[in-house]
Structure 1
Amino acid sequence: MSKAAKHLTVTAFIVIVLVPGLMALAPLKNYEAPEQVDPIAGDLARDLEAHYDQSFPVREFGTNLWAAIRYNLFGEARKGAVVGREGWLFTAEEFYPPPNQSGEVEANLQRIAHLVAYLEQQGIPVVLMVVPAKARVYEDKLANGKPAPQMQSLYPRILQHVEGEQVLVPDVLEGLQAEKSAEAPLFLKTDTHWTPRGADVFARQMAEQITKTFPSQDWHQAEYITREREPQSHRGDLLNFIPVTPYLTALGPEPDWMTPHLTEPAEATTGGLFGGKTPRVTLVGTSYSANPLWNFDGALRQHLGADLINVADEGHGPFEPMVAYLRSQDFREYPPELVLWEFPERYLVQPVDSESVLGWFEQTEEQMANISNRRGGVK
């Protein structure tokens, strides 16, 4: 056996045998037996077993070790994430369609068309703000192949379909790719979501097309200022699929560093705080809009020069927050003049299983069918 092989064997023995063995003995150091136990009845053994179950770290260490091996040697994460280059991670939802959901894209396109028609019937236009997948924007960071063909087709498919419905759906993919920067990325490496800078770039490009399409609104009548806050470490949601913490954290991807933004009304604005008439704009969407870490609603306010109401919600996809808003008292009593609907492209292939959402479509099916017939059919 060569010297190098011996060193490798010793290292492996220490990592696989001695370290877990010493860790297995660690819980005994802090163990104190209860004063009244009956060893014959097995009380002491049961008490020690309970203490061991609470303190025994070997199982967690084993999980950390295997996650570190998969990540460093095989470039893999647990099911749910895809490992890219240079510490970049991607959600598997952008790579693989759900099983047995071949008709879900068409069903969701129909649902989008029905929701848009429902709002148009009431004189409320909709801007569909499609968020391109992180794997699409940062295709150069992929390491083990591209997303499935069905997933690659989602972004152009939703744009083509919705444009046929005469809905404003700005295509900002090229604009986002043109503003990529290694020093200030648009998406977080370890998170599904965008950075505050990415949210700002997306909001600016959206606002440019929104203000041109709806010039009758009094845009840019309110002034907002965005300030950078203290940089902070951010452990993205995709790190959950590489569980190397707490024992082998250094062998996993490094957390992101991000600079949160805070947008507030300026002290002095043109023509007063809101400069006369303020467009009543409602933002509906997912965690890309709801989570204050990204400051997407603040960026929209600044680039539109107008206030807005944010009814986005986290963890429910794009359809459930929209239906909840349409059922709300606020929508009935204070209907908006414009709805901005943030919609991540990957949700186009995800099944809708919310009883609330499906119930709303069932309740309005006849009404939507009548609207569809007047418009010549939903494509």
Structure 2
Amino acid sequence: MADAIPCGAAERCRAAVAPANRRSLNVRRPLANLIAATAVLFAMTTPSHARDAVLEGKQNWLFAGWESLTAPKPAAEKSSIALIAGASRMFAKKNIKLIVLIVPLKPRYYEPLLPDGAAMSDEIRKRYDALLTELRTGGVTAVDVRDAFKTVIASKQEVFYRADFHWTTFAAEASADQVAALMLSTGPLPGKAGTGMKLGEWINDRHLGDLAANFLSPERKRAIGPEAYVIRQAPKAESGKADGGLLDGDPAPVAVVGNSFVQPYFGFSQRLSNRIERPVTLKWNPGDVGPWASLLQYLKSTDFKSSPPQFLVWQFNEAQLQNGPDAMGEWASQSIISPADWSARVQDALRN
């Protein structure tokens, strides 16, 4: 895996991901990247399971079939949160503030569009609040991005794409604004102001959503059809500067670790960098790598060792918190690790 690299400019965002993922900054070629980021979740799925991977809802809306709408796993979620709280305490000893960002389930916002007979159970309805409460009780700073989503909905924009697993750029940017406000409320960040990402103009990028492209038959793909992805165009380079205006060598006081929701295509890290006026380091992986292995990869990176951040934003999807680092069948085999070993490796990475 490539080391994480400051994402204060588009050119450096390209280097922040492994070579196979570099298309994520090319707004003209997003489809292969988005499809791969979701398809890898089911690389070892049997054909019968693949057919169940998508819920076809009303008005051609699609939902992830692998996220249960009825069965939470509170014991497993508590175990994951205990690991996160332990990591947060370890980071605090190194003067690193951990911020956990949980992306809510798509059906929370589009439940009327679920297929007939599909609905969230009361336990699932209460889960997001329960997760936030548990994290905060454990001393973890966890942002409630539903507040950010409200601003998007108020502006009559969508928070998830119709036939895609991912949030929209509007939701990603609103969430970044919320996280930036939290960081700035603690006082000025180190480094030179004005070294953050300059945002590009809005453009429409029309293609099939990843749920449709990965899991539907050709006939259903045609019926579902493409949709417009409203995203940011990569900004043009200024004379003497990298794309977006970030000078080489500027330290990044903030790091973001997560999955394809925070890949550059959706703009979370770029917007965060723009709002705090500082560079932001980005480390993301496709979903099957999992949040636990992704964090370890970042902590082992040259970037972390040479310049630890003041803030570390760790992104999860809501349903992921029921899967610890040893969740066989949920993560790629090379990502599986016992909880005790995972904690020990975090501690070792912070010690060195």
Give 2:104's match in structure 1, choosing from 128, 132, 138.
132
Go from structure 1 to structure 2 and tell me whether the alpha carbon gap of 1:94 and 1:244 turns closer, same or farther (over 3 Å shift): same
Output the CA distance in 2 between the equivalents of 1:232 and 1:202: 21
Indicate the residue corresponding to 1:190 in structure 2. 163
Tell me if structure 2 keeps the 8 A contact 1:227–1:262. Answer: yes
Q: What value does the CA root-mean-square deviation take over the aligned residues?
A: 3.4
The one-character-per-residue Cα deviations of 1:274-327 (angstroms, maximum 9, x if unpaired) are 7x985521110111112x321221111112221111111112222221122223
Unaligned runs of 5+ residues in structure 1 are 1-76, 369-379
CA drift at 1:244: 3.2
Alignment check: 8 A CA contact 1:88 1:190 kept: yes
Q: 1:323-352, CA deviations, whole angstroms, 9 ceiling, x for partnerless residues? A: 222233432333222211112111012353
Distance of aligned partners of 1:153 and 1:240 in 2 relative to their CA distance in 1, 3 Å threshold:
farther
1:218 Cα deviation (Å)?
5.7
Cα deviations across residues 136-181 of structure 1 (Å, max 9, x unaligned)? 2333433434223443333112211111233321212133134227
Equivalent residue, structure 2, for 1:361: 340
Q: How does 1:239-254 map to 2 (within 5 A)?
A: 239-240=212-213, 243-245=216-218, 247=219, 249-250=221-222, 252-254=223-225
Paired with 2:256 and 2:230, the residues of 1 have a C-alpha distance of 23
* Structure 1 residues 224 and 364: CA distance shift in structure 2, 3 A: closer
Match of 1:261 among 211, 232, 245: 232
Change (3 A) 1:255 1:350: farther
CA distance in 2 between counterparts of 1:109 and 1:255 reads 38
Task: Return closer, same or farther for 1:142/1:217 CA change in 2, 3 Å cut-off.
Answer: farther
Q: How does 1:24-39 map to 2 (within 5 A)?
A: none
Range with bigger deviation, 235-244 or 316-325:
235-244
Determine helix, strand or coil for the equivalent of 2:296: helix
User: Is the 2:148–2:171 Cα contact (8 Å) retained in structure 1?
Assistant: no
- Match of residue 298 from structure 2: 325
Give the counterpart letter for 1:256 in structure 2: E
The structure whose Rg is larger is: 1
Query: 1:189 Cα shift?
Result: 0.5
Contact in 2 for aligned 1:223/1:266 (Cα 8 Å): no
Paired residue for 1:373? none
CA contact (8 A) 1:137 1:173 kept: no
Taking the TM superposition and a 5 Å limit, the aligned residue runs for 1:109-148 are 109-144=81-116, 145-148=118-121
Query: What SS does the aligned partner of 1:283 have?
Result: strand
Give the 5 Å matches for 1:215-254: 215=188, 217=190, 221-222=194-195, 224-228=197-201, 230-240=203-213, 243-245=216-218, 247=219, 249-250=221-222, 252-254=223-225
Per the TM alignment, residue 273 of structure 1 is displaced from its structure 2 partner at its CA by: 5.7
Given that 2:251 and 2:307 are in contact with CA atoms closer than 8 Å, whether structure 1 keeps it comes out as no
Distance 1:219 1:148, change over 3 A: farther
Contact 1:87 1:253 in 2 (8 A): yes
Q: Which amino acid aligns with 2:57?
A: G
The aligned residue for residue 36 of structure 1 is none
TM-score, scaled to structure 2 = 0.69
Q: Name the counterpart of 1:108.
A: 80
For 1:1-379, list aligned pairs within 5 A. 78-96=51-69, 103-144=75-116, 145-180=118-153, 184-215=157-188, 217=190, 221-222=194-195, 224-228=197-201, 230-240=203-213, 243-245=216-218, 247=219, 249-250=221-222, 252-262=223-233, 264=235, 267=238, 279-290=252-263, 292-315=264-287, 316-351=289-324, 352-353=327-328, 356=335, 358-359=337-338, 361-362=340-341, 364-365=343-344
Secondary structure of the 1:257 match is strand
Cα drift, residue 128 of structure 1: 0.9
Distance 1:313 1:152, change over 3 A: same
What one-letter code is carried by the residue in structure 1 that aligns with 2:340?
A: F
Aligned pair in 2 of structure 1 residues 341, 366: CA closer, same or farther (>3 Å)?
closer
Rate the CA distance shift 1:137–1:207 in 2: closer, same or farther, 3 A: farther
Query: Aligned AA for 2:307?
Result: Y
Q: Deviations over 1:202-225 (max 9, x none)?
A: 211221222113445468533543
Q: Is the 8 A contact 2:252 2:279 kept in 1?
A: yes
CA contact (8 A) 2:82 2:138 kept: no
Higher relative contact order (CA 8 A, sep 6+): 2
TM-score between the two structures when normalised by the length of structure 1: 0.65
**Higher mean C-alpha displacement, 206-215 vs 120-129:** 206-215
In 1: Cα distance, 2:139 partner to 2:202 partner:
40
Work out the CA distance in 2 between the residues paired with 1:243 and 1:277.
Answer: 45
**Amino acid of the residue matched to residue 298 of structure 1?**
Q
Q: Identity across aligned pairs (percent)?
A: 24
With over 3 angstroms needed to count, the CA separation of the structure-2 counterparts of 1:159 and 1:215, relative to structure 1, is farther
Relative to structure 1, is the Cα distance of residues 136 and 215 closer, same or farther in structure 2, using a 3 angstrom cutoff? farther
How many residue pairs match? The answer is: 285
